[in-house]
Structure 1
Amino acid sequence: MADVVIGLDLGTGGVRAIAVDLQGKPIAQTTRSYPLLTPQPGWTEQNPADWVAASLEALSDLTQKLNGHSATALGLSGQMHGMVPLDADGKVIRAAILWNDQRTGTAVDAIETAIGRQELIQRTGNPAITGFQLPKVVWLQTAEPQAYDRLQQILLPKDYLGYVLTGEAVTEPSDASGTGCLNLARQWDADILNALEIDVGLFPAVVESTAIAGRLKSEIASRTGLPAGLPVVAGGGDNAAAAIGLGISSSHLNRGSLSIGTSGVIFVPCDRPVPDPEGRVHLFCHADGGYHLLGVTLAAGGALRWYKDTFASKLAFTDLMEMAERSLPGARGVLFLPHLAGERSPYLDPDTRGAWVNLSLAHTQADLVRAVLEGVAFSLRTAMEIVSEITPVHQLLATGGGARSNTWLRILADILQAELMAPSSEEGAAYGAAILAMVGVGAHPDLEAAFEILPQDNKVVQPQANPAYEAAFKRYSLLYEALKAVR
């Protein structure tokens, strides 16, 4: 039977493993879930032991589905920004603090006092942000000094899993650039860490995303059915890996992606590191050796799910979309601010909150639902406008659950004024990790060659100008500051 590569994506809700043949065809896949811990309001944690158990179960299950196919490599992807602290024996000191944790406001202030916001942006592409890894380390210094005293290694989630699988502690630029202390030259910034009295030696070596990070340990092989010594490729952070799986690279500019999952993400590659001077959108390394800009709204599909769970629990999402069609562009004047979990782009404000505005007795549930869909699109447009000032973007590959709705896809295309393409198949970050693994073991000479095997048939939605959206966006743009004043 033909060879396959495996991609493993360590997400927030669970792990997904996929086997892909060397022509890019998925052969088998499986998922396992694990709990999210919220010990205090605004805190989010997970137990890395749960990640390991779920990942080994998923790999074991996948191996049994290979039907004689031989695995030749494993590529990694995962949720970004999390902190996994290890002691001298490689044991986890405390629960991992996740990307959406908001406890680090004081730590962010301390970092920007020690280094300066503008210098941080010039060095790393980003200001200090509550979700990033570096503020978590500073928080650990002050809030849990006994744990910090035991600290010998700091890893990102997928890199911790790689460490368990291979015994090697490494990272790669696409994930590491979301820590807050990797400079734009793709190395740990010793000046930043020295200013914070953090030992640069706590961080792992940085290798390329297609590099072999290590080889599968024999005890892991026996538990999963995979061959001992299997190459494990460093891979990429979830957004970068998902972009690789869509063929989005720094060598093909003006084309990015739009993901509508729990959060909403605009991903646009660029061939040189030009940060937004105000740090309103992220600048990260891409897994292909280039860079990318990232605009994030924290509650996209999450805002619609909140609406469904709170006000329409007996309705399906398809019912809500049909209901939104009964309203009009501009939701008959209703505006929705989707800041239900704080907001990233462009405000970097963990304390901002959501709202409906302009409600009247004449409005219906259809108007409220449509306002939610439009509010998410308006939020993404604020990020899109900043990205477009740095690098033009005319076409976005639309992915995630929200992009499966023709209604939402049309709203997004018209509000963003960008051509949207919905891929015929979407396998996500695990698939991108598999593509990186193919290049890592030489199945394809480089990523450009690997992109040739990706499916090309897409549904295209062309943007249509709509004065109702333009008028609504002008009013929407005033909401953040107006509501900030009454917090």
Structure 2
Amino acid sequence: MTVFDQYILAIDLGTSGCKVGLVSGNGDVAAWAFRPVGLQVVDGIGAEQRPEDWWAAFLEASREVLSRTTVSRGQIAGICASTQGEGTIAVDRDGQPLTNGITWLDMRGARNLKKSMRGSLKVAGYDAIKLQKWLRLCGGAPALSGKDPAGHMLFVRDELPAIYEKTYKFLNVLDFFNLRLTGRFCATQDSILTSWVTDNRNVDNIRYDDGLIAASGIDKSKFPDLVRCTDVIGTLLPEVAQQLGLSPRIPIVAGAIDNSAAAIGAGAYEDYEAHLYMGSSSWIGAHVPFKKTSIFDQIASVPCPAPSKYLMMAMQSSGAANIAFLKDRIVFHDDGLYRGEPTPDVYAVLDEISARTPAGAQGMVYLPWLFGERSPVDDASLRAGIFNMSMEHNRETLVRAVFEGVALNTRWMMRPVNKFLDRRIEELTIIGGGAMSNSWCQIFADVLNVRIRQPRDPMKANARGATFIALHGLKIMDMREATKSVVIDRVYDPQAATRQLYDERFGIFTELHKRLAPLYRRLNGAKG
């Protein structure tokens, strides 16, 4: 078979649910299915998902994909996953979950993490000695918001001691999926990153560091073995193969967390080629040839699947989640009084509303911090809000304001990103569910003053990334060559007519943060 006759069963597990695609060697998607997964908010600052819901969604979506395609089972060369990152599941020796999946939105570990930062000298809220070691070896440090495994594991250790004692391994979401697929307890060089226990100075030889493990406060035995994203970690467990109707000899490639896979699937492989991901969360990423950290801006270049490269990452907590919130909690919220039914494609309707509403949303400004923020400020107390609402406004202006607010938040992150890269980003390839919106693509071009490149099937970028990682790991196709198959369908250039408007609006946006941040801390500081 040629490379184009071979397919990867590619998994893309995000916060909203599990997507599964059967993807060819040139990135074409032969079949695609999605199953939603619910999110449980706990005490206002916790956010969990049930691992069994993840797995059930994967099995259902996979069966649908395999039943809808003419691709023969013999053409499936491997299975590879891309999942949400910075999640934590405690499992026992049999691989059974002892906790729900503590997701990247969960801030309950912030208090426990801050206790571990006690010391005579602090820098930006960190113990200075620990911070120096984290930056030198890892290239980053635990999020003080508690939104990564470093905080999650301390939360389990301190608040759930009985579960901590039973815990055999702490796994990230990707690691849990690989365990269910192969029976192997392992972590990739990118899934382990935000546990902050690895020496990342040699990107081709990531390894645990005993000093960092001691600083984490977690027993060394509770961390899984390390593998590379492109490693073949085993074959499909017989019971899973039987459930899917596949051969148990199908190899499983370790895969990557979402931001790493997205960079590959966007086709942004070469150094400094940047992409903007707009899913539930949002980030700007670019491969770079160096390890570097800007702790005050919460930006770092970290290990990734691309051989001998680091991935610069600047992440914001809520991207298209703001649009989902608008749809589910405002426009079509079932409050028992009005049972409005959404249209078949409500997101397309919101996109149309945004497109026909004038730029500037008639002075309304939306602040998109539904669950705190990470970059360019790491502040768990921030929350979303609508500013300057008046009697002349309506649903249309609110929709436009939400679209613009997320773009203004992204612009807030662009300045430190450009400084980090030591060059100005001139264009961004936009991917994720939010990239399906033509109106939003133009808004991003106008607000950021950059060219926006919209690839074909932008929502399937993570699955394409998992496919290209698998092809490289199986020695079917080089990763760099695979990324060249990504097709750009449309380009959006910034419009001069809106430049002054959005420059002014951005100044108001940042001024609102400056003035409101102390109030957010008073309202939400105890939780955050």
TM value normalised by structure 1:
0.92
- Cα deviation, residue 353, structure 1: 1.4
| 1:14-413 correspondence to structure 2 within 5 Å | 14-67=17-70, 68-70=72-74, 71-113=76-118, 116-129=130-143, 130-185=146-201, 186-249=206-269, 252-289=270-307, 290-313=309-332, 316-325=346-355, 327-391=357-421, 392=423, 393-413=425-445
* Gap change, CA 1:19 and 1:321, over 3 Å in 2: closer
After superposition, what is the alpha-carbon deviation per residue over 1:339-368, rounded to whole angstroms, capped at 9, x for unaligned?
122112112112111222234445454443
**Residues 1:384 and 1:182: Cα distance change in structure 2 (over 3 Å):** farther
Counterpart CA distance in 1 for 2:399 and 2:34 is 31
Q: Deviations over 1:370-417 (max 9, x none)?
A: 322221111101111111101132221112333222322111111112
- Distance in 2 (CA, whole Å) between partners of 1:157 and 1:335 is 35
Tell which deviates more after alignment, 332-341 or 432-441.
Answer: 332-341
Deviation larger for 388-397 or 328-337: 328-337
Structure-1 residue corresponding to 2:489 = 458
In structure 1, the residue matched to 2:524 is none
Residue 469 of structure 1 pairs with residue 489 of structure 2: no
Q: Compare 35-44 and 209-218 and name the one that shifted more.
A: 35-44
Are residues 152 and 407 of structure 1, via their aligned partners in 2, closer, same or farther at CA, if it must alter by over 3 Å? same
Query: Aligned pair in 2 of structure 1 residues 160, 365: CA closer, same or farther (>3 Å)?
Result: closer
For residues 23-56 of structure 1, the C-alpha deviation after alignment (integer angstroms, 9 at most, x for no partner) is 3322222333333333432222222233233323
Matched pairs, number: 483
Provide the secondary structure at the position in 2 that maps to 1:386.
helix
Q: Mean alpha-carbon deviation: is it higher for 332-341 or for 97-106?
A: 332-341
Shift of 1:135: 1.0
In structure 2, how many angstroms separate the alpha carbons of the residues matched to 1:398 and 1:405? Answer: 10
Contact 1:63/1:226 (8 A) holds in 2: no
Q: State the SS of the aligned residue for 1:478.
A: helix
Tell me: CA distance 1:58–1:416, structure 2 relative to 1, closer, same or farther (3 Å).
Answer: same
**Offset of 1:319 from its aligned partner?**
4.5
Q: Which runs of 5+ in 1 are unaligned?
A: none
Partners of 1:112 and 1:305 in 2: CA distance: 36
- Answer with 167-176 or 37-46: which moved more: 37-46
The CA distance in 1 between the partners of 2:405 and 2:49, in whole Å, is 31
Say if 1:36 and 1:44, in contact at 8 Å, map to a contact too. yes
One-letter amino acid matched to 2:208 = W
The equivalent of 1:484 in structure 2 is 517
SS at the partner of 2:378?
coil
Whole-Å separation in 2 of the counterparts to 1:33 and 1:363 = 33
Runs of 4+ in 1 over 6 A off after TM superposition: none
Deviates more, 1:35-44 or 1:152-161: 35-44
**2-structure distance, mates of 1:49, 1:362:** 47
- Asked if 2 retains the 8 angstrom alpha-carbon contact of 1:32 and 1:58, the reply is yes
Q: Secondary structure at the match of 1:76?
A: strand
CA-atom RMSD, angstroms?
A: 2.4
- Offset of residue 160 of structure 1: 1.3
Deviations 1:67-109 (A, max 9, x none): 3242121112111111111223333222221111121111231
Paired letter, 1:128 = P
| Cα distance, 1:447–1:351 mapped onto 2, change above 3 Å | same
Greater shift, 332-341 or 469-478, is seen at 332-341
Matches of 1:230 and 1:79, distance apart in 2? 24
Q: 1:192 to 1:14 in 2, by over 3 A?
A: same
* Aligned 1:1-12 pairs, distance under 5 A: 2-12=5-15
Distance in 1, Cα, partners of 2:115 & 2:212: 12
- How far did 1:211 drift? 0.8
> What is the letter of the counterpart of residue 317 of structure 2?
L
- CA–CA separation in structure 2 for the residues paired with 1:31 and 1:405: 19
SS in 2 for 1:128: coil
Inter-CA distance 456–201: structure 2 relative to 1 (3 Å threshold):
same
Query: Is residue 5–residue 21 contact of structure 1 (8 Å, CA) maintained in 2?
Result: yes
The 1-side partners of 2:392 and 2:52 are apart by: 53
Q: Once the 2 structures are TM-superposed, how far is the Cα of residue 199 of structure 1 from its aligned partner? A: 2.5
Runs of at least 5 residues in structure 2 that lack an aligned partner in the other structure = 119-126, 333-339, 521-528
C-alpha contact (below 8 Å) 2:130/2:215 kept by paired residues = no
CA offset at residue 210 of structure 1?
0.9
| Change beyond 3 A, Cα 1:69–1:27 | farther
Residue pair 1:126, 1:279 contacting (<8 A) in 2 also: no
Q: 1:149 to 1:480 in 2, by over 3 A?
A: same
